[in-house]
Structure 1
Amino acid sequence: MQKTISALIGIGAYLVVQDTGAQRFDWGTLATPFISMARAQDADWQKVDETLGRKPAVTGDVRRYGFPRSDLSVTLDGVAIKPALALGGWVAFKPAHGGTMIMGDLVLLESEINPVMAKMIASGLDITAVHNHLLRASPATFYMHVAGHGDPLKLASVIHDALAESKTPLTVAAPPGPPPAVELDTAQLDQIIGVKGQGNGGVYQFNVPRRDPITEGGMQLSPVGPMGVAIGINFQPTGGGKAAITGDFVLTGEEVNPVIVALRTHGIEVTALHNHMLDEQPRLFFMHFWANDDAIKLAKGLRAALDKTASTKS
């Protein structure tokens, strides 16, 4: 039996042993995740943090950096939008393929889209979507989804320099005081939605995972919340037990219209339907929504829509 042994040197050496009897075992398929993890651990994350001007939220092997548009005063149907409700841009870093992959969703004004995009594409990052999430907001806000792969510090520099073309705050100011209370029956909301929510800047937020694994470029996108592929639901109290709600449903094609019908039947407006990524598996569509009404009533409508999806429920 003749064997050919070849070593590849670059991101790491591995062996490929091939028999002339057409039997092949590629050790690289086993080695790549460990190489990626080692590279990510070797990265100088403190310099990444310094470049981006903030500390990340770390979940598993994902570092997610928030870029809320706290500089904007956006109103919609008389509601002053808190950054955590609909203005929370972010970029997530995850070990992948011998380096780091990034995915992100940046909140921009119309005048900022082309300057930021020009910086991104000049540095080799991919633009995967540009669109609205809301209707009738003043000023109008748009959302640019980006992706890339490489050295984390270089990627961080690209993100910083691109966002410098906008008025996105690049340093994090100390909060003026304790976060505002979420004056809603959050225990009942948890029970209806079926997962535990959490407060963030006066907004009560849910991340509802799908049951099916989601991959992009051959990498599983997990944990799903930090990577932007969980169903996101946000409640902002508007007084008297009412709340403004927005977020996005993560859907396969056959789920789209049943969810539209469920939302509309319960008085929840569908404000956008589009992609966020380019080559994910399974193919996904993201549906954004809006309403301002009794919070419990809206939660029941959202639950009816969730029941049309392959989402998890505790």
Structure 2
Amino acid sequence: MRTMLWIVVSVFTAWFAGGAHAQKVDWQVFSEPFVSSAHAQAIDWQKVDDAFGRKAVVSEDVHRYGFPRTDLTVTLDGVTIKPALALGGWVAFKPAHGGAMVMGDLVLLETEINPVMLKLIEGGLDITAVHNHLLRASPATFYMHVGGHGDPVKMAAVIRDALGASKTPLATPAAAGAPPAIELDTAQLEQIIGAKGQANGGVYQFNVPRREPVKENDMVMAPVGPMGVAIAINFQPTGGGKAAITGDFVLTADEVNPVIKALRSNGIEVTALHSHMLDEQPRLFFMHFWAVDDALKLARGLRAALDKTASVRTSG
């Protein structure tokens, strides 16, 4: 321990020795992991679970709660959309100064938007976006992005109360049975996309991180997948090696039109372009897409679009 302390002191001493020409120290780089850990230990996550009536999926210091619209039967271009493809509402809590920050994306019918929004506003939470992700779906679904900062138990109670103004299933989810088979060449999909995927509810999902960190109110949004700031690509098998694809690209302004052109030139429809947050750094745009075709062909089109982004790939 003393050796480690001496190394740290020595590094800082050498750093500051340059006087006026020394590099500026970003103290957040050193302090943030310790601050986040301390706050995480202070939060009674069982009370947050109790407020939602379900257990979180925990990734590092982020607790994410899923609210899939399993009550809806949504079809698009002859495909019955599985909740994991495009109907997976969620909220994620990350420890922060003064409690926790929350971000989320609620899946709603048109008639549910205003009743849910009113409850969230009354409870002190922020609405950061309301929009579509899909086109031509029946029934039409909309997506309400929410944010907030404070006591996680109180924020959880507000969100649950707000969801009660919709028909979102709030009962404790039943134990999942055997997951549906993914009848696609997932190894080849991974090779083309250049990332590892995972099966979830009959859908094969990819989360591709951007190279630079994403911050909201100067706090790093990590891990990026659970916080909703990774490029999301979902494949739902439709038979015969074909798939329906949707998700969203997370883009900086200069990447938007190159990605649009890459997707459209590969037969992939761009269905929405918008923001999800209000104060993120760098400024980001979220581009949603849709297509039904040969899965490997679609993967190559998605890879062409990924190659226009500053994202991290592991192969291909």
Structure-2-length-normalised TM-score: 0.88
Q: Which runs of 5+ in 2 are unaligned?
A: 1-24
Q: Which residue of 1 aligns with 2:260?
A: 260
Instruction: Map residues 262-281 of structure 1 onto 2, 5 A cutoff.
Output: 262-281=262-281
SS of the equivalent of 1:261 reads helix
Aligned-pair CA distance for 1:56: 1.0
Aligned-pair CA distance for 1:177: 2.6
Kindly indicate whether the alpha-carbon contact (under 8 Å) linking 2:94 and 2:102 is maintained by their aligned counterparts in 1. yes
Provide the rounded CA distance (Å) in 2 between the counterparts of 1:305 and 1:63: 31
Two-structure CA RMSD over aligned residues (Å): 1.8
Q: Give a deviation string over 1:188-217, Cα, whole Å, max 9, x none.
A: 000000010000000000000000111000
Kindly indicate whether the alpha-carbon contact (under 8 Å) linking 2:92 and 2:103 is maintained by their aligned counterparts in 1. yes
Provide the rounded CA distance (Å) in 2 between the counterparts of 1:185 and 1:143: 31
Structure ranking higher in helix proportion: 2
Aligned-pair CA distance for 1:228: 0.3
Q: Give a deviation string over 1:10-33, Cα, whole Å, max 9, x none.
A: xxxxxxxxxxxxxxx9x9997676
Q: Which residue of 1 aligns with 2:3?
A: none
Q: Which residue of 2 aligns with 1:226?
A: 226
Q: Which residue of 2 aligns with 1:20?
A: none
Q: Which residue of 2 aligns with 1:7?
A: none
SS of the equivalent of 1:161 reads helix
Provide the rounded CA distance (Å) in 2 between the counterparts of 1:97 and 1:233: 32
Q: Which residue of 1 aligns with 2:9?
A: none
Kindly indicate whether the alpha-carbon contact (under 8 Å) linking 2:236 and 2:243 is maintained by their aligned counterparts in 1. yes
Aligned length: 290
Kindly indicate whether the alpha-carbon contact (under 8 Å) linking 2:105 and 2:144 is maintained by their aligned counterparts in 1. yes
Provide the rounded CA distance (Å) in 1 between the counterparts of 2:68 and 2:36: 29
Q: Which runs of 4+ in 1 moved over 3 A?
A: 27-37
Q: Which residue of 2 aligns with 1:137?
A: 137
SS of the equivalent of 2:260 reads helix
Q: Does 1:52 align with 2:68?
A: no
Q: Which residue of 2 aligns with 1:110?
A: 110
Q: Which residue of 2 aligns with 1:173?
A: 173
Q: Which residue of 2 aligns with 1:164?
A: 164
Provide the rounded CA distance (Å) in 2 between the counterparts of 1:274 and 1:147: 16
Q: Give the stretch that moved more between structures: 27-36 or 50-59.
A: 27-36
Kindly provide the amino acid, as one letter, of the partner of residue 231 in structure 1.
I
Provide the rounded CA distance (Å) in 2 between the counterparts of 1:86 and 1:291: 13
Q: Which residue of 2 aligns with 1:84?
A: 84
CA 1:258 to 1:184, structure 2 compared with 1: closer, same or farther past 3 Å?
Answer: same
Q: Give a deviation string over 1:35-62, Cα, whole Å, max 9, x none.
A: 5532331222112111111111111110
SS of the equivalent of 1:58 reads strand
Provide the rounded CA distance (Å) in 1 between the counterparts of 2:49 and 2:99: 17
Structure ranking higher in strand proportion: 1
Q: Give the stretch that moved more between structures: 95-104 or 296-305.
A: 95-104
CA 1:32 to 1:209, structure 2 compared with 1: closer, same or farther past 3 Å?
Answer: closer
Provide the rounded CA distance (Å) in 2 between the counterparts of 1:28 and 1:94: 16
Q: Does 1:302 align with 2:302?
A: yes
SS of the equivalent of 2:204 reads strand
Q: Give the stretch that moved more between structures: 39-48 or 227-236.
A: 39-48
Kindly indicate whether the alpha-carbon contact (under 8 Å) linking 2:39 and 2:96 is maintained by their aligned counterparts in 1. no
Structure-1-length-normalised TM-score: 0.89
Kindly provide the amino acid, as one letter, of the partner of residue 73 in structure 1.
T
SS of the equivalent of 1:301 reads helix
Identity of aligned residues (%): 77
Q: Which residue of 2 aligns with 1:184?
A: 184
Kindly indicate whether the alpha-carbon contact (under 8 Å) linking 1:33 and 1:97 is maintained by their aligned counterparts in 2. no
Kindly indicate whether the alpha-carbon contact (under 8 Å) linking 2:133 and 2:271 is maintained by their aligned counterparts in 1. yes
Kindly indicate whether the alpha-carbon contact (under 8 Å) linking 1:36 and 1:99 is maintained by their aligned counterparts in 2. no
Q: Give the stretch that moved more between structures: 247-256 or 36-45.
A: 36-45
Provide the rounded CA distance (Å) in 1 between the counterparts of 2:186 and 2:311: 20
Instruction: Map residues 190-205 of structure 1 onto 2, 5 A cutoff.
Output: 190-205=190-205
